[in-house]
Structure 1
Amino acid sequence: MPATPSTARAINDRLALRLLQQEGPLTAGRLKQLTGLSRPTVADLVDRLTAAGLITVVGESGEQRRGPNARLYGIVAGRAHLAALDVRTAGVVVLVSDLLGRVLAEGSVPIGGDAGTGTAVEQAVAAVERTAEEAGAERLHTVGIGAPGLIDPVTGDLRDSAGLPAWHRSLATALQERLPGARVTVENETNLAALAEQREGAARDRDTFVLLWLGHGVGAAVVLDGALRRGASGGTGEIGFLPVPGTDSLPSARDCGGGFHALTGAAALTSLATRCGLPTPPTTDGAGAAAVVRGAVAEVTGAGARSGDGVPGAGPVGLVTGEEVPGVMTEVLGGTGGGPSHRFLRLLADRVAVGVASVVAVLDPGCVVLGGEVGRAGGAVLAGLVEERLRAMSPLRTEVRASGLGGAAVLRGALLTARDRAQDELFAPPERPAP
């Protein structure tokens, strides 16, 4: 069935807007080249989008820099403001951006474990309002929230999860009430991190991959053929419940203590570090486990404090990138190094590889990205060790990569999701009244 004129116009408008988003300001002539549309058609769409307040003249291009043909058109970034939230057990991180995703303001608020649900929600909402005010945003068009826990695939709500604060489930409703007209969406943090890695991070060249989240707990996000897969109940990636060898019991429907979590959760890693003779961190949460891993990586690579977050550019890299590595790193990757840090990293890689091998056997993703606090702290060193172990366990060739976005992955994913939703609405053609 041929497209109607209005449908054709809508398709052309969206194409032009996406190009302006990706390429930046363009002249009408350049839009004609990139879209393949005729000059009159491009002129019409430029007039429509300008009248709708979606694009405007932002400058001129060319040697003479004058006349209609030299006008550069760009998206009106201030047409909508967006907020992204990374909701943690002990607080919230917020950023506010314009329609193009440029960050205008950032904020955070710690929330104590003894705060009641009402108090905690009020603190989080106030942080969003305060950040929006600092950004000069009179109203927020879309708010994207990243949180731990399962998302109901039917309602889109955060489901009740053991061990998570009750205020997490109340936050989206409170924001919707306090921000009239805003579109509020909630997504699992690991899923958002995967979307960010796919668009801007370590998986930019992959349509199919798995993000393994290693932090306080463990989780996974699955992207197949370019699409995030959530599963029938929203539970795709609940890898903490995966039965694995090396644990004292089997997991139950309410407790993942006997599953993969028992090998790679934060408490298990700090216990492993102690047994290997490494200093025990003051806390056994994700931050404490990450500190142990980061310290071990720094010791075996000689990077000291330079190793930072374990993200690309912050310290030595190894098998993942193919760059030359120091001799001590070769010992770690080859399994011949000594010392508590060497032993700890090898045992950690063995544990991680057990879960990764199960995922690879079922999905054959070809690529696994290590994220979360522990994954980031291990960086390319841990990724290289896991890839080596996996190569010995599975006939399926799988590349293991370190996160390319560090601690910003969840926020970036929440922002990208909010921006996509806002643009889908703003870039849609206006509905015409029925005759």
Structure 2
Amino acid sequence: MRGLSVRVGGPRALRAMNDRAALYALAEHGPLSRVELEHAIGLSKPAAAELLRRLEQAQLVRQDGHKESSGPGPNARLWTVNELAGHAVGIDVISSSVDVAVADLSGRVIAERKVLSRGSGPDPVVPLRRAVVDAAKVRGLTLDDIDRAVVGISGSIDPVTGFLGYADHMPRWHGFNVPHRLADALGMPVTVENDVNLVATDELLHGRARGYTDVLLLWMSSGVAAAVVVDGRLHRGWRGAAGEIDFAPLDFNGRRVTELIDNHGVLELAADHGVRAGRAGTLVRRAVAAVAGESERGGDPEGFLAELAARVAQAVVIPVSLLDPQLVLLGGEIGVAGGDRLADRVADRLHRLIAHRPEVRPATGRDHAVRHGAVEAAVRQLQEAVFG
């Protein structure tokens, strides 16, 4: 991995700042001509020309064709980040599989690999390392060619001990410092992040949270968790467990959040209203269609959605009161399947309970959202290291 040497000082510090601004502009908006780069970061023609010469010599940028001229004179050269100057990997770990994507310095995903980890032995790191090695091999790379990794996993990592908590369903990952162990196995810096936080990262960059600074994402699937974004940044809490709300009691009978709005709780609620289907997400989607008049009614889909919305509103009312978010996103298979109809009912119920008026919307529900968020976080770390 190549990078810039930055020292505090007058002209040298200014050059480093300009180099960094140019690299980020090229990474986000490139390829750009020299004139376009001048306008993007506010440099003079001689300064931009010298900057590009310097970055090309450092092998951080490269020429990428020409831009057709609209008038007389030669076509302008186009410049882009040298994507081979570094690589990063994003990894999504669940109890049964490991899903890997390798990206270059520009953020483009260049290789993917998914391996089953169930039945692979007592050490969960072995299939993870194998998946990364196999993905890198697709593009003729080795672990030595990858500079950063971000791993998404259910539960939370204690920032002091590195131990995984709130993840009883991941027993093989307990009892050791997860980030340190993975860094040793992969030979690179590794960040281990909560999977729902990475979904929030993906939503902030490419989904329905784009343009928002304060967001609460509620994830409802086989488990329940939340991600908290404050001032555009993930809030992890003192011990990394912010958002682990699944074990919190939701009513005076002691029933927990996860019992009422995870897949199993939603299936039970639907059965009480005579609404039946296979999976929880399918069931919610069919109930929404029935209420909209797009399919035959079975049981009481309206009553089911109303009660589900009440439960969801009750689950987020205290976090919303404390955090005052602009946006509440309903994610996981249940939140996405509910679409705007469930979100509108949750908003109505929530607005009856408290004075806050956040928007409530379904999450995007992009496939491989955890892995996408992990790749985006890993590339961001890589660019910070390389660009200075």
Indicate whether the TM-score tops 0.5.
yes
Which of the numbers 307, 326, 330 marks the counterpart of 1:366? 326
1:209 and 2:215 aligned: yes
CA–CA distance in structure 2, aligned partners of residues 385 and 213 of structure 1: 17
Structure 2: gaps of 5 or more residues: 1-7
The reply on whether 1:293 has 2:284 as its aligned counterpart is yes
Partner of 1:378: helix, strand, or coil? Answer: helix
Contact 1:105–1:131, Cα closer than 8 Å, also in 2: yes
1:103-162 CA distances to partner (integer Å, 9 max, x unpaired)?
Answer: 2222222333x55422x432232122112212333322211111111122346x352445
> What residue number does 1:275 align with?
272
Report the CA distance between 1:86 and its aligned residue.
Answer: 1.2
Structure 1 residues 173, 292: closer, same or farther in 2, change over 3 A?
farther
Query: For the Cα contact (< 8 Å) 1:147–1:186, is it kept in 2?
Result: yes
Residue 248 of structure 1 pairs with residue 253 of structure 2: yes
Post-superposition Cα deviations, 1:322-357, rounded to whole Å, max 9, x if no partner, equal xxxxxx9xxxxxxxx983333222211110011122
Corresponding residue for residue 325 of structure 1 = none
Distance 1:178-1:154 versus aligned 2 partners, 3 A rule: closer
Residue 340 in structure 1 maps to residue 293 in structure 2: no
Question: 2:360, 2:373 → 1: CA distance?
Answer: 21
1:296-323 CA deviation, whole Å, 9 max, x = no partner? 334434667xxxxxxxxxxxxxxxxxxx
State the number of aligned residues: 377
2:98–2:127 Cα contact (<8 Å) kept: no
**Matching residue of 2:347:** 387
Say yes or no: does 1:165 pair with 2:156: no
SS of match in other structure, 1:406? coil
Matches within 5 A, 1:175-186: 175-180=182-187, 182-186=188-192
| Matching residue of 1:132 | 136
Counterpart for residue 113 of structure 2:
107
Letter in 2 for 1:229: H
Equivalent-residue separation in structure 2 for 1:273 and 1:135 (angstroms): 48
Hey, what's the Cα distance between the residues in 1 that align with 2:328 and 2:122?
Answer: 37
Q: TM-score, normalised by structure 1?
A: 0.79
Contact 1:193 1:413 in 2 (8 A): yes
Alpha-carbon contact 1:28-1:69 (below 8 Å) kept: no
Measured on the aligned residues, the alpha-carbon RMSD in Å equals: 2.6
Change (3 A) 1:177 1:107: same
Going from structure 1 to structure 2, the CA distance change for 1:48 and 1:409 (only over 3 Å counts) comes to same
Amino acid at match of 2:171: A
> Contact (CA 8 Å) 1:121, 1:167: kept in 2 or not?
no
1:172–1:230 Cα change, 3 Å: closer
Matches of 2:129 and 2:72, distance apart in 1: 48
Mapped contact 1:297–1:378 kept (Cα < 8 A): yes
Letter of the structure 2 residue corresponding to residue 128 of structure 1: V
The whole-number CA distance in structure 2 between the counterparts of 1:301 and 1:90 is 37
Q: TM-score, length-normalised on structure 2?
A: 0.88
Sequence identity of aligned pairs in percent? 38
1:25 and 2:16 matched:
no
Q: Distance in 2 between matches of 1:214 and 1:277?
A: 21
- SS of the aligned residue for 1:11 comes to helix
Distance 1:14 1:115, change over 3 A: same
Deviations 1:72-131 (A, max 9, x none): 11011122222211111221211122222222222222333x55422x432232122112
Contact 2:93/2:99 (8 A) holds in 1: yes
* C-alpha contact 2:226 2:245 (8 A) present in aligned 1: yes
Aligned residue identity for 1:357:
V
Question: Which amino acid in 2 is paired with 1:269?
Answer: V
| C-alpha distance in 1 between matches for 2:360 and 2:61 | 42
Query: Is the CA contact 1:357–1:390 (under 8 Å) kept in the aligned structure 2?
Result: yes
| Contact map agreement 1:175 1:184 (CA 8 A) in 2 | yes
**Is the 2:33–2:67 contact (alpha carbons within 8 Å) kept by the matching residues of 1?**
yes
Deviation at 1:408, TM superposition (A): 2.9
Question: In structure 2, what is the Cα distance between the partners aligned to 1:216 and 1:135?
Answer: 35
| SS of equivalent residue, structure 1 residue 239 | coil
Asked if structure 2 preserves the Cα contact closer than 8 Å seen for 1:87 and 1:145, the reply is yes
- Partner AA of 2:229 in structure 1: V
Equivalent AA in structure 2 for residue 420 of structure 1: R
Is 2:126 the counterpart of 1:122? yes
Gaps of 5+ in 1: 250-257, 282-287, 305-327, 329-336, 429-435
